[in-house]
């Protein structure tokens, strides 16, 4: 499932491409025809994200609400010519001008909602490291729970936008035992997690890749600080999808088990901190 940085990148690109323009909205697949009819010939006001939810606001108090789910994609392309651009694949929703076409495929959610209904969605989500500066509300929920920190990091009403890759990698980066109950997690450990997510997720938005290994993080930060384009080679990870391989920090074998419906990867030797 796409993690929060992907949705924020899509929101950024949709906003840069369509905000302030009157657009045509259609549903080549047909399943979103009634919703598209409510949005077409309206101006895009803003695109924004909260966790794994995307909201595209139109004039007339209409909001396109999208959740990509496991297989959804939202691509933006330059129109090859003025008029109808050929449809490739099963396109649920298309946003188009004479210059650009954005196609949404395979989403879990694609609906037109009101601003009040959008506010209800936001209220159900926890803090988003790409949107919020304060993670106290997340820690308050974590500290009331007996669930493991590995499970809690996946709950979107606790912390919005974090998925399995960031969960595994951030816990390893700070040597935190993923089985630590939330109620026993030290405040200092939470502050390390929150600050690190605030550091790493923007790199994901900038590069469209999850980067977590220190040397690579520092390299990309240096390139971005110079305002230069980032050219990514193949990236690695500390523990994610490295079952049985050597931990990059200590050489112990990386372990794996199901936690909260997804495979957790961790190093039992490095990650002893609570």
Active-site annotation holder among 175, 198, 262, 273 = 262
Report how far residue 158's alpha carbon sits from residue 33's, in angstroms, rounded to the nearest whole number: 34
Report how far residue 156's alpha carbon sits from residue 152's, in angstroms, rounded to the nearest whole number: 8
Active-site annotation holder among 9, 52, 92, 105 = 52
3-state SS assignment for residue 182: helix
User: Is 28 tagged catalytic?
Assistant: no
Active-site annotation holder among 2, 28, 107, 129 = 2
Tokens of 107: 């989403």
Helices (H) and strands (E) in the chain, counts: 8, 10
User: Is 3 tagged catalytic?
Assistant: yes
Active-site annotation holder among 3, 57, 155, 216 = 3
The answer to whether residues 257 and 172 touch, using CB atoms and an 8 Å cutoff, is: no
User: Is 61 tagged catalytic?
Assistant: no
The answer to whether residues 108 and 72 touch, using CB atoms and an 8 Å cutoff, is: yes
Report how far residue 195's alpha carbon sits from residue 211's, in angstroms, rounded to the nearest whole number: 15
User: Is 186 tagged catalytic?
Assistant: no
* Active-site residue list: 2-3, 52, 262
């Amino acid at each position: 499932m796409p993690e929060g940085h992907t949705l924020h990148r899509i929101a950024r690109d949709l906003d840069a491409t369509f905000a302030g323009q009157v657009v045509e909205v259609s549903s080549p697949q047909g399943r979103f025809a009634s919703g598209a009819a409510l949005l077409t010939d309206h101006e895009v006001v803003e695109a924004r994200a909260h966790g794994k939810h995307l909201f595209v606001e139109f004039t007339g108090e209409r909001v396109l609400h999208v959740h990509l789910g496991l297989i959804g994609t939202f691509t933006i392309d330059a129109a090859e010519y003025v008029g109808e651009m050929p449809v490739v694949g099963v396109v649920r929703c298309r946003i188009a001008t004479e210059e650009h076409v954005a196609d949404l495929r395979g989403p879990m959610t694609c609906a037109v909602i009101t601003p009040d209904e959008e506010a209800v969605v936001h209220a159900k989500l926890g803090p988003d490291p790409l949107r919020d500066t304060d993670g106290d509300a997340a820690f308050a929920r974590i500290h009331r729970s007996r669930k493991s920190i590995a499970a809690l990091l996946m709950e979107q009403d606790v912390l919005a936008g974090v998925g399995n890759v960031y969960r595994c990698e951030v816990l390893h980066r700070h040597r935190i035992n993923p089985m630590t109950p939330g109620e026993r997690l030290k405040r200092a450990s939470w502050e390390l997690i929150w600050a690190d997510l605030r550091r790493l997720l923007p790199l994901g938005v900038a590069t469209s890749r999850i980067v977590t290994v220190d040397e690579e993080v520092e390299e990309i930060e240096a390139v971005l600080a110079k305002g230069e384009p980032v050219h990514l080679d193949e990236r690695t990870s500390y523990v994610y999808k490295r079952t049985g391989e050597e931990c990059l920090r200590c050489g112990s074998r990386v372990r794996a088990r199901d936690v909260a419906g997804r495979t957790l990867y961790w190093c039992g030797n490095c990650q002893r901190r609570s």
